[in-house]
Amino acid sequence: MKLLSYKYFGIAFIAMLLSAINFEATAQRIYRDTVYLQNYGEITLWDNTTAFLYSFTYNEKQPAFLPGKIIEVEEGDSVHIFSRSISNDGFHTIHLHGLDVNTINDGDPMTSFPLSPYSEFTYKFLATHAGTFIYHCHVGDVMHVQMGMYGLLIVKPKGSKKTAWTGGPSYNKTYSWLTSELDKFWHENTPYAMMNEFKIPVFKPDYFLVNGKSKQQLSDTSTAIVASTKEKVYLRLANIGFYKHQFIFPASLNAEVVDSDGRPLPKSFVADTVNITPGERYGVMLQSSNALLSFVKINFIDMFTQQIKGTEQVPINIVQNVGVDDKNNTKKMIGLSPNPAKERLSIHINAKGSKNYGIKIKDLFGRQLMELWCEGFESKDIDIASLPSGIYIAEVALDEYTISEKFIKE
């Protein structure tokens, strides 16, 4: 019997290996996204002033926005992020912060390479496990991150199941808070950042941001937390600023820290205060057995002096879960339409035993924004065009009791 030579055995083995690799590649889902580097634009701050931005965008003509779009993939995906620099004079990268990637796809210009003006590259990696990550520019990163070149990258469990990770704790709702600071002087006097050699001014931030927002802007539906007492909320926290960010939760939320930096903790723990240093990420489960109208306080702390330089409060509204009969009764008492509303909100009362009622419009901080007095049970049409987009509460006082209903202003 004639034996195969080593030469033929090698070719057969390589062919078999290539076939296996091809099968594996076809078995994986390929997720594709596009990121353009350094579009210019402006952010409108809580006091209606603006600040100049650099940004990641998703086409060449899109103006800058802060932060960049959340990139969401699934565990097991082969992720391809096509990037094109549209800067006419600077270098940029996409650094995949916290992800397990090889050197060429890391985005650190010292170990991989920077993208020169109008050059292109497709960053590739395998999403091996679920977790919360950050992507940001790593060229002159102190300046370019401050100027706005950052965003969240979330790896969900396979099948996008509502668990923190595969086999992890389940949840009903999820929110993501990417926190940072903004020094307006830097944005008005941007030093030229050629690679990593440039002079920067002293960092003295005057705005403190959650998802690019602060103060009254935090009632935005993507940031303010709204849930019922039967719902568990998974809150992803990530710090892309230069300060330590201290999150203080109301005790009744039973905040349970379950993961850190994209990995499950060996043992979760309950804490009403969570400190996050720059670049860190945490996953926190929230659930309250009681109705709650409060806020999560965030202190922005200088890591050298340990002084609190700024504080923000994100509204949280936990409503008491009611039975079917209670829901039906509530619907009979008060109606809001349309909901969501853009410019006008109609409130209809259907009750007996009273001819007059008062209406108060409040934000999720409990601050009263409008008050009206009505006679009879006719529908009341309210002009809400001046309200910023977000979640609000219509509170109706009927004789000896009060009914509250949430509505969304688009």
Supply the pTM of this predicted model.
Answer: 0.78
Number of domains in the chain: 2
- Inside any domain, residue 15: no
Domain stops at, among 283, 302, 321: 321
Mean pLDDT per segment of 10 residues, for the chain of length 410 residues? 38 39 55 88 93 88 87 95 86 91 89 88 94 92 90 94 95 97 90 57 94 93 91 98 97 97 96 97 96 94 97 91 49 72 81 68 82 71 86 76 78
Model pLDDT for residues 101-156, shown as the tens digit of each residue: 999 998 888 888 888 888 999 999 999 999 999 999 988 788 899 999 999 999 99
Whole-angstrom CA distances from 123 to 30, 32, 95, 106, 113 are 13, 10, 9, 8, 12
Q: Does some domain include residue 17?
A: no
Phi-psi region of 348 (alpha: psi -120 to 50; beta: other; left: phi over 0): beta
158/281 same-domain check? yes
- Structural domain containing residue 337: 324-409
Task: Give the single-character DSSP code of 222.
Answer: T
Peptide bond connecting 340 to the previous residue in cis, omega within 30 degrees of 0: yes
Confirm whether 255 is domain-assigned: yes
Of the candidates 242, 191, 208, the residue with the CA atom closest to the CA atom of residue 45 = 208
Pick from 321, 345, 369: which residue ends a domain? 321
Choose one of 321, 356, 375: the last residue of a domain.
321
Q: Are residues 357 and 313 in the same domain?
A: no
* CATH number, position 328: 2.60.40.3080
Residue 66 CA: distances (Å) to CA of 4, 78, 168, 246: 63, 27, 31, 21
Residue 5 lies in a domain: no
Same domain, 272 and 350: no
Summarize pLDDT for 314-339 with one digit per residue, the tens: 999 898 765 444 444 444 567 788 88
Written as one string, the DSSP assignment of 226-289 is EEETT--EEEEEEE-SSSEEEEE--GGG--EEEEETTEEEEEEEE-SEEEE-TT-EEEEEE--S
pLDDT for res 394: 85
CB atoms within 10 A of CB 243: 25
